[in-house]
Amino acid sequence: MSNYNNEEKKNHVIDYGTYIFVWLGLLALTSLTVTVAGIHLGNYTLIVGLLIALTKASLVIAIFMHIKVEDPIFKVFIGIVLLTLLAIFILTFIDYSFR
């Protein structure tokens, strides 16, 4: 079974078009973040900014870090990181709402 997993890792190739498409998406999301920061959306500015950041992080993790072909332990670690990030988001929203 581990031999199959190693074969899958060796043969995993993402073409340059995908990288360019994701890079353009990240640039678009970055410009969207700057635009949203300049627009007054009230209480939703922080939520929209964090959702854009989460989307950008998901693209980087999925495409550039090749998490799909890694061992399951890496996926567990990423799950722990995402739970920590969720806790930070929740604490940020609680702090922001009581100001």
pLDDT tens column, 66-94:
887 788 898 899 899 989 988 998 999 89
pLDDT, residue 69, reads 74
Q: Which two tokens stand for residue 52?
A: 């854009």
pTM here? 0.68
Mean pLDDT comparison of 25-29, 43-47, 66-70, highest-scoring range = 25-29
Q: What is the 3-state secondary structure (H, E, C) of the chain?
A: CHHHHHHHHHHCCCCHHHHHHHHHHHHHHHHHHHHHHHCCCCCHHHHHHHHHHHHHHHHHHHHHCCHHHCCHHHHHHHHHHHHHHHHHHHHHHHHHHCC
For the chain, how many residues are written? 99
